[in-house]
Amino acid sequence: MTHQFPALSPEQKKALSDIAQRIVASGKGILAADESVGTMGNRLQRINVENTEENRRAFREILFSSDAFSSQSIGGVILFHETLYQKDSSGKPFPAIIKEKGIVVGIKLDKGSAPLAGTNGETTIQGLDGLAERCAQYKKDGVDFGKWRAVLKITSTTPSQLAIQENANTLARYASICQQHGLVPIVEPEVLPDGDHDLQRCQYVSEKVLAAVYKALNDHHVYLEGTLLKPNMVMAGYSCPKKYTPQDVALATVTTLLRTVPAAVPGICFLSGGQSEEEASLNLNAMNQLSLPKPWKLTFSYGRALQASALAAWVGKSENKKAAQEAFRKRVQINSLACRGQYVVSGKTDAAATQSLFTASYTY
């Protein structure tokens, strides 16, 4: 701990910091469109659409070609590897379309979970092998940020010390490697919503996990101003009998973050977990309305909570493209308001928006 051997030059730091700031600029959040082939399969199955490469491409095209997919409300989009190299119907590569709209291109970098022997079903995440070379290639291919999802679960014996420490360490290694190649790492330590634990328990665990993550990032000399955090909101487990309001969730979440996330981190982009589209927007809005000081942006990095209605409107038929885009536009607009604390709920909300999107032990 005695001497500094700078990991990044001032120019590298500035480039990373600028990218991060662009992604979480006011009123903007992230579209998480990085569902793996398997996960896309689950989504398409729900609307009775076959999981082919063309169908996956077609749905992403609907999103990326919509007017709502603009730099006014979307700062960045996370892609799966396959999607980065796909094109729209006119043959234009997706990254080119995205960049032309002034949106930053991101890529999922992890390679899924691996079990931690000797634990109660806990996991770590793989993907560090050859990560430097992959990052360099993605950077050439138009990507400016990466995403890596670690998973922790609450039960009477978990998360264990080992799971917390191992996942924090791999997140820090991934972040360090990304930055060496000009990619802003989104750090995602997801504490799953599975279980019947209450809000306090989730808060306690989230505080411990985040404290470990930021200690690991510091140990690995990661430049915080060039990172983003993608945490879970602090909520009760899905089987918890007690119900909480968006204000309860907001206060517990922001308190947790104030106790663990250094002000140098430019933005916190929440995952939606299994929340319905509307729930995810209401909770984000409540956080941004809290009068507690918040030195980082609080915004969205939503997958399901931005796409569920659009998928339901599309059901695999090209003639439903406009309807799907309209459904998508609504959620984008609402979340853009929510990340500024300006979302005012009017009248009734549609069924798809309030449908819980919870799937037990969600993996991509």
With a CB cutoff of 8 Å and minimum separation 6, the contacts of 231 are: 188, 189, 190, 191, 206, 210, 257, 268, 270, 271
Residue 317 within binding range of another protein, rule CB under 8 A: no
Judged by CB under 8 A, the chain residues 224 through 283 that form the site for another protein are 224-225, 255, 258-264
Binding letters toward another protein, positions 205-224, x by CB under 8 A: x-xx--xx-xx--xx----x
Smallest separation, CB 292 to another protein (Å) = 9
Q: Which is nearer to another protein, 87 or 208 (CB)?
A: 208
Judged by CB under 8 A, the chain residues 2 through 21 that form the site for another protein are 2-4, 10-11, 13-14, 17
User: CB of 297 within 8 A of CB of 266?
Assistant: yes
The first and second tokens of residue 319, run together, are: 């003639």
Smallest separation, CB 228 to another protein (Å) = 15
**What is the C-alpha to C-alpha distance for residues 110 and 94, in angstroms, rounded to an integer?**
21
Start-end of H helices in the chain: 10-23, 37-46, 53-65, 81-84, 94-100, 131-140, 161-180, 199-219, 246-260, 277-289, 304-314, 321-338, 351-354
Give the interface segment with another protein, choosing from 31-39, 155-163, 176-184, 306-314 (CB under 8 A).
Answer: 155-163
Question: Which is catalytic among the residues 188, 190, 277, 279?
Answer: 188
Q: Is the peptide bond before 159 cis (omega within 30 degrees of 0)?
A: yes
Helix (H) / strand (E) containing 30 = strand 29-33
Instruction: Confirm whether 230 is a catalytic residue.
Output: yes
The first and second tokens of residue 225, run together, are: 């101003």
**What is the C-alpha to C-alpha distance for residues 259 and 214, in angstroms, rounded to an integer?**
11
Instruction: Confirm whether 188 is a catalytic residue.
Output: yes
Question: Which is catalytic among the residues 108, 147, 153, 230?
Answer: 230
Smallest separation, CB 290 to another protein (Å) = 13
Smallest separation, CB 161 to another protein (Å) = 6
Contact residues: another protein, CB under 8 A? 1-4, 10-11, 13-14, 17, 154-161, 164, 200-201, 204-205, 207-208, 211-212, 214-215, 218-219, 224-225, 255, 258-264, 293-295
The residues annotated with a catalytic role in the active site are 188, 230
